[in-house]
Structure 1
Amino acid sequence: MLDVRFKYGGGYRYYDVPEYIGNAFINASSHGTYFNDFIKDQYDYEKIEG
């Protein structure tokens, strides 16, 4: 599971994200680009508070 908080728009919890994807996201030079390329529309998610 990977929790992502956006500057404007709250947070989301993504399910069944492999550990290597989460680690690469954390270490990416551009979080937005990595998110769009490898996470967005790839995993089930739900909106979470915050």
Structure 2
Amino acid sequence: MNDEQPAEITEEPRGCLFALSQPPLMFFLTFIATLILVTAVHDLYRW
């Protein structure tokens, strides 16, 4: 009995850059960053 898995099944671990490459995460982070930027500008320059 050989307990090793074939090379096709094993996956190498994915890091943070793989997570950041996902479009839904980038849309979410862009939305949050935009909200923070708008509130910062609003606090600095009260019209």
Q: TM above 0.5, one fold?
A: no
Q: Determine which structure has more spread, i.e. the larger CA radius of gyration.
A: 2
TM-score norm. by structure 2 comes to 0.26
Structure with greater strand share of residues:
1
TM-score norm. by structure 1 comes to 0.25
